[in-house]
């Protein structure tokens, strides 16, 4: 059975009329890197909350269906047990800083303190995690004095250090520059290769195409499409439904109409585009 198993999940926030998620069925294998795309209000963040146990343990409202991770249903667990296996980092880095700590090092150790990890082991794990995400140089800074991108790295590291089996990331690179984004994607790719399951909401489609194993496109709370990045991200269905696709895809699509793109498949990244275009002389 799949590591993550979502069955017929329908969820409605309190005081809203339409469900945020509708009949979602999704299976994710261990070590898979799954990217989730979709417009604002498509249910991406709600899906993240459902995976991380905050729906239904934190947000009330009507829920039906089941979320299972590693064979345990979230409805049968409690939030404080659930977060030990499922890590969640979300978009706004400022609100993810605990506020209880004065340095980045202490901030990252916060989760381990709560888990009751012994001191020596804690220091070691914090150092390793900071090395992994490339923020060792920030250890003694105040988390509030950092830039948005740096804060996002701290937020991500604070979750990674807890060594979750499932990592749920809601636009973790939204405030990072291209180099930072690339580094973070590479780190997440490595984690996924080492057996950690990753679910990541991300708008940066070219990066998704390069790094993710599978893409799920959400629309109005339901799964519109899922499959390999190269298939999903270039599909007509996505374009018809108003998803933002890569400019290389759009360019090649126009070129195809004029006979300048001969390949069957449309490109997503610059590299694929550069290899595929033919110039008519």
- For other proteins, the binding residues (CB under 8 A) are 49, 52, 54, 58, 79-80, 83-84, 87-90, 92, 94-102, 105-106, 109-119, 122-123, 126, 142, 144-145, 155, 158-159, 162
Q: Which is nearer to other proteins, 6 or 97 (CB)?
A: 97
Residue among 108 and 224 whose Cβ is closer to other proteins: 108
CB of 88 to other proteins, least distance (A): 5
Distance CA 154, CA 133 (A): 8
Nearer to other proteins, 64 or 114 (CB): 114
**Closest CB 102 distance from other proteins, rounded Å:** 6
C-alpha to C-alpha distance for 120 and 118, rounded to whole angstroms: 6
Smallest gap from residue 113 Cβ to other proteins (A):
5
The nearest distance, CB 116 to other proteins, in angstroms, is: 4
Instruction: Provide the β-strand partners of residue 277.
Output: 261
Distance in Å, CB of 99 to other proteins, minimum: 4
Where does the chain have alpha helices with state H?
44-51, 54-57, 79-82, 104-115, 119-133, 148-160, 178-193, 205-211, 229-232, 236-240, 247-257, 270-276
Residue 92 tokens, joined: 């706004």
What is the distance, to the nearest Å, from the Cα of residue 111 to the centroid of all Cα atoms in its chain? Answer: 20
Q: How far is the CB of 7 from other proteins (least distance, A)?
A: 24
* Identity of the residue, 162 or 252, whose beta carbon is nearer to other proteins in the bound complex: 162
DSSP string computed for 109-165: HHHHHHHT--HHHHHHHHHHHHHHHT-GGGTTS-GGGS-HHHHHHHHHHHHHTT--S
Task: List the beta bridge partners of residue 280.
Answer: none
In the complex with other proteins, the residue whose CB is nearer, 110 or 248, is 110
CB closer to other proteins, 2 vs 139? 139
């Amino acid at each position: 059975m799949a590591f993550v198993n979502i069955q017929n999940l329908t969820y409605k926030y309190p005081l809203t009329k339409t469900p945020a998620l509708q009949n979602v069925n999704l299976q994710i294998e261990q070590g898979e890197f799954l990217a989730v795309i979709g417009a604002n209000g498509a249910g991406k963040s709600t899906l993240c909350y459902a995976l991380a146990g905050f729906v239904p343990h934190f947000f009330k409202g009507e829920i039906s269906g089941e979320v299972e991770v590693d064979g345990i249903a979230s409805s049968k667990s409690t939030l404080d047990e659930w977060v030990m296996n499922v890590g969640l980092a979300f978009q706004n880095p400022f609100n993810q800083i605990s506020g209880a700590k004065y340095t980045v090092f202490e901030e990252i150790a916060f989760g381990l303190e709560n888990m009751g990890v012994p001191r020596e082991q804690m220091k070691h794990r914090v150092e390793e995690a900071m090395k992994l995400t490339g923020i060792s140089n920030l250890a003694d800074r105040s988390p509030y004095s950092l830039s948005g991108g740096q804060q996002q790295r701290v937020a991500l590291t604070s979750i990674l250090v807890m060594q979750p089996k499932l990592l749920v990331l809601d636009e973790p690179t939204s405030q990072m520059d291209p180099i930072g984004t690339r580094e973070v994607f590479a780190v997440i790719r490595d984690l996924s290769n080492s057996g950690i399951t990753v679910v990541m909401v991300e708008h940066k489609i070219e990066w998704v195409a390069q790094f993710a194993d599978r893409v799920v496109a959400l629309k109005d709370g339901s799964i519109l499409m899922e499959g390999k990045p190269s298939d999903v991200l270039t599909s007509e269905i996505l374009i018809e439904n108003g998803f933002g696709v890569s400019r290389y895809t759009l360019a090649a699509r126009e070129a195809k109409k004029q006979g300048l793109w001969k390949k069957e498949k449309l490109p997503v990244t610059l590299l694929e585009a550069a290899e595929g275009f033919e110039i008519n002389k």
